Amino acid sequence: TPPISPFAIQFDAEAATLTPEGPTLTRRMSALDGLFKDHDAWQQAVADGDPVVYSVQSTPVPEVDRELPQSITSIEAGTTAGEFWMTKGHQHPNHQGEIYLALHGTGGLLMFDGTETQWIDMVPGTIGYIPPGWAHRSVNVGADPYKFLAVYPGGAGHDYGWVLEHGMGKRAYAVTDGFELREF
Ligand code: F6R
Ligand code: ZN
């Protein structure tokens, strides 16, 4: 990757966009294999049109060591067998920290260090801090899309297998007055 020159990024918090745009990643239900508690309900959702669950819009800053990439994730509102829609979740293999800034909707930042689970309620203006060594997943617990800005070390990496192996400690389920965390 060639070195990147200084540049300005237009951040529209209201629209939840970053300009100029880098790559956009779209994850449909089929990409979340093995993550929802109810596998049959997940399979049914894949068969029923495989909806987009979330997308991640990056800037042109590359994911390489010593760079500082940013992205905006938008998670659609929905549940699968009562479990709120969420990101896959990952661990940074190099154990580096990250921050999330909530922009729109109502979400949660679920973190797991292999033993302990932590949950941060995310509403516009909340910065959630993810310390090194904590796997992290974002959950949309509202009726609107949940959107947040992420800023993270370019060399952090994304280990998705860690979450498949260890889980995230807890899951967020829809209840009449919001959400409830239940044991994995
Ligand atoms: C980067 C980061 C976020 C997520 C994004 C999608 O380190 O934590 O930008 O990558 O919210 O979630 P995952 O990567 O779990 O599919
Ligand atoms: Zn991360």
Q: Which of 148, 5, 141 is nearest to 78 (CA)?
A: 141
Nearest CA to ligand 1 atom 5: 73
The rounded mean pLDDT for the chain is 97
Nearest CA to ligand 1 atom 6: 87
Query: Once rounded to an integer, what is the mean pLDDT over residues 105-110?
Result: 98
- Model pLDDT for residues 124-169, shown as the tens digit of each residue: 999 999 999 999 999 999 999 999 999 999 999 999 999 999 999 9
Nearest CA to ligand 1 atom 12: 87
- Model pLDDT for residues 16-65, shown as the tens digit of each residue: 999 999 999 999 999 999 999 999 999 999 999 999 999 999 999 999 99
Domain regions of the chain by residue span: 17-183
Whether 74 lines ligand 1, by a CB cut-off of 6 Å, is no
Residue 9 confidence (pLDDT): 97
Contact 84, 127 (CB under 8 A): no
Asked if the 17-183 domain carries CATH number 2.60.120.10, the reply is yes
Buried b (16+ CB within 10 A) or exposed e, 55-89: bbbbbebebeeeeebbbbbbbeebbbebbbbbbbb
Residue 1 confidence (pLDDT): 63
Whether 159 lines ligand 1, by a CB cut-off of 6 Å, is no
Residue 4 confidence (pLDDT): 87
